[in-house]
């Protein structure tokens, strides 16, 4: 009995322990929630906001009102312009649109600068510049300007070119001095032509006085007309203060558009005497320039290329071609070659042949005795050649700057020179 009761007590204790543990576990899993009910809230005194309203009203009333557009009381009417009156004038665009700021100019450094090249070399000590004598009494001296150039005593580059570097101062290649043109149909040229547009300044080639300044050129001596060239248009002729080998010198400027000097006016080298043009009988505007020696007439011209100083670092070639009888070869084409290439061409002088026409023949230079000239040739070694009916003559020539180089191409083997009718343009031919 005692053992049975102890078993029941042990079982009861175990059961109570299990129940207590389960209660504790259950309580930890679902904690008890507690709620509190708030009591009645005490009443609060309302905040005074009158000052905020007053400030807001002041800001609104004191601010600038927004602009408003006034509505027109009447309907809008577009304005009208007054009626046009008078003559309508066409205005050029350049008159309407003017720049608001000046055009910027190129910066020019302050200080000494290197002088640029000049059109002609400076004179050398070979020519002594002295005071002018009295040419009318046969006393002559070189011109008193910086133009004279004579590095070789035989040279006489005494004249300034009649136009400067701003214009074309190179002679027309296909119509040189002594030529009758590429088609042999032009008047034999007694000067050189410098093609230039109308209005370029024309300068006196040397100091002297003007003896003619008008159109319809006619030179009268002792009451007789000894020279006339109406086809020259406006002409200026200057008799110079210096001469050559006891002879007077003249320069002639033709086809001018305007003459700016008068007869007996003194001129110095570089004075403007007129403007280039195309007056007279011409095919285009240019300056015709002549040098006359001994007498002021058409029969006493010389090749101006041998009287004008060549360009810087350039020289001149003067040459001669003749037949075995000494007769000069006429109207023959001469070529200037370098390294197998033709650099330039010219022709030998043409004569009229008939004795009644010799007064209008061109002339060789008193020193060089040439019958062809190449002007403004860059310094260097060249070959000059001519082909006469299949017979070729050629020679090398060394061109030196500022001087004339002479070349004699020799003589053709046999020449049969026949009289040439005036105006025929025929040339001598080689006999077989």
Please check whether residues 328 and 276 belong to one and the same domain: no
Structural domain count of the chain: 2
Please check whether residues 432 and 295 belong to one and the same domain: no
Please check whether residues 315 and 305 belong to one and the same domain: no
pLDDT at 125: 33
The lowest-confidence range among 83-97, 191-205, 294-308, 316-330 is 83-97
Looking up residue 166, the CATH number of its domain turns out to be: 2.70.70.10
Q: Which of 274, 294, 309 is the last residue of a domain?
A: 309
Pick 157 or 99 by higher pLDDT: 157
Is 2 part of any domain? Answer: no
Pick 14 or 278 by higher pLDDT: 278
Report the C-alpha gap between 415 and 428 in whole angstroms: 8
Is residue 131 over pLDDT 90? no
Rank 115-119, 186-190, 216-220, 317-321 by mean pLDDT and report only the highest. 317-321
Q: Which of 309, 325, 357 is the last residue of a domain?
A: 309
Is residue 54 over pLDDT 60? yes
Please check whether residues 175 and 290 belong to one and the same domain: yes
Rank 122-136, 146-160, 192-206 by mean pLDDT and report only the highest. 192-206
Q: Report the DSSP beta bridge partners of residue 290.
A: 252
Mean of the pLDDT values across residues 381-399?
94
> How far from 70 is each of 66, 67, 74, 226, CA to CA, in Å?
13, 9, 12, 97
Query: Residue 207 is part of which domain span?
Result: 118-309
DSSP count for the chain of H helices, then E strands: 3, 19
pLDDT confidence bin for 34, thresholds 50/70/90:
low
Nearest C-alpha neighbor of 408 from the set 306, 334, 309: 334
pLDDT exceeding 70 applies to what percent of the chain? 64
Is 82 part of any domain? Answer: no
Please check whether residues 297 and 367 belong to one and the same domain: no
Report the C-alpha gap between 123 and 147 in whole angstroms: 6
Is 35 part of any domain? Answer: no
Please tell me whether residue 385 adopts helix, strand or coil conformation. Answer: strand
Please check whether residues 337 and 300 belong to one and the same domain: no
Is 183 part of any domain? Answer: yes
2: number of Cβ within 10 Å: 5
pLDDT confidence bin for 36, thresholds 50/70/90:
low
Please check whether residues 340 and 214 belong to one and the same domain: no
Backbone conformation region of residue 46, classed left if phi is above 0, alpha if psi is from -120 to 50, else beta = beta
Please tell me whether residue 98 adopts helix, strand or coil conformation. Answer: coil
Please check whether residues 124 and 190 belong to one and the same domain: yes
Is 105 part of any domain? Answer: no
pLDDT confidence bin for 166, thresholds 50/70/90:
confident
Pick 227 or 431 by higher pLDDT: 227
The pTM for the full model equals 0.64
Q: Are 374 and 344 in contact (CB under 8 A)?
A: yes
Is 135 part of any domain? Answer: yes
Please check whether residues 157 and 253 belong to one and the same domain: yes
The lowest-confidence range among 101-105, 168-172, 242-246, 306-310 is 101-105
Is 23 part of any domain? Answer: no
Q: Which of 309, 324, 343 is the last residue of a domain?
A: 309
Please check whether residues 124 and 259 belong to one and the same domain: yes
Please check whether residues 300 and 325 belong to one and the same domain: no
**Mean of per-residue pLDDT scores for the chain:** 76
Is 269 part of any domain? Answer: yes
Please check whether residues 123 and 236 belong to one and the same domain: yes
């Amino acid at each position: 009995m005692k053992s049975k009761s102890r078993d029941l007590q042990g079982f009861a204790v175990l059961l109570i322990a299990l129940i207590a543990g389960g209660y504790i576990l259950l309580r930890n899993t679902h904690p008890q929630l507690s709620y509190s009910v708030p009591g009645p809230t005490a009443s609060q005194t309302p905040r005074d906001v009158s000052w905020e309203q007053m400030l807001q009203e002041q800001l609104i009333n004191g601010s600038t009102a927004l602009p408003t557009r006034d509505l027109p009381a009447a309907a809008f009417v577009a304005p009208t312009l007054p009626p046009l009156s008078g003559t309508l004038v066409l205005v050029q665009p350049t008159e309407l649109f003017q720049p608001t700021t000046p055009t910027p100019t190129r910066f020019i450094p302050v200080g000494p600068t290197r002088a640029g090249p000049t059109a002609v070399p400076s004179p050398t000590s070979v020519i002594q510049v002295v005071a002018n004598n009295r040419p009318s009494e046969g006393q002559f001296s070189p011109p008193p300007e910086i133009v004279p150039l004579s590095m070789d005593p035989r040279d006489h580059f005494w004249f300034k070119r009649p136009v400067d570097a701003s214009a074309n101062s190179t002679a027309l290649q296909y119509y040189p001095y002594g030529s009758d043109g590429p088609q042999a149909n032009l008047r034999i040229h007694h000067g050189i032509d410098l093609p230039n547009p109308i209005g370029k300044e024309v300068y006196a080639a040397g100091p002297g006085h003007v003896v003619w300044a008008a159109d319809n050129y006619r030179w009268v001596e002792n009451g007789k007309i000894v020279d006339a060239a109406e086809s020259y248009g406006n002409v200026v002729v200057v008799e110079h203060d210096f001469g050559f080998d006891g002879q007077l010198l003249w320069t002639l400027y033709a086809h001018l558009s305007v003459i700016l000097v008068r007869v007996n006016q003194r001129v110095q080298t570089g004075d403007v005497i007129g403007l280039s043009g195309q007056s007279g009988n011409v095919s285009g505007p240019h300056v015709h320039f002549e040098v006359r020696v001994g007498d002021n007439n058409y029969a006493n011209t010389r090749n101006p290329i041998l009287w004008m100083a060549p360009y810087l670092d350039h020289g001149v070639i003067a040459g001669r071609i003749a037949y075995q009888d000494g007769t000069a070869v006429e109207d023959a084409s001469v070529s200037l070659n370098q390294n197998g290439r033709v650099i330039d061409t010219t022709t030998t002088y043409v004569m009229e042949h008939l004795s009644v026409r010799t007064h209008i023949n061109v002339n060789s230079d008193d020193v060089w005795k040439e019958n062809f000239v190449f002007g403004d040739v860059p310094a260097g070694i060249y070959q000059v050649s001519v082909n006469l009916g299949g017979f070729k003559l050629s020679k090398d020539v060394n061109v030196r700057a500022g001087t004339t180089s002479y070349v004699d191409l020799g003589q053709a083997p046999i020449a049969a020179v026949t009289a040439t009718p005036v105006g025929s343009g025929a040339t001598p031919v080689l006999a077989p």
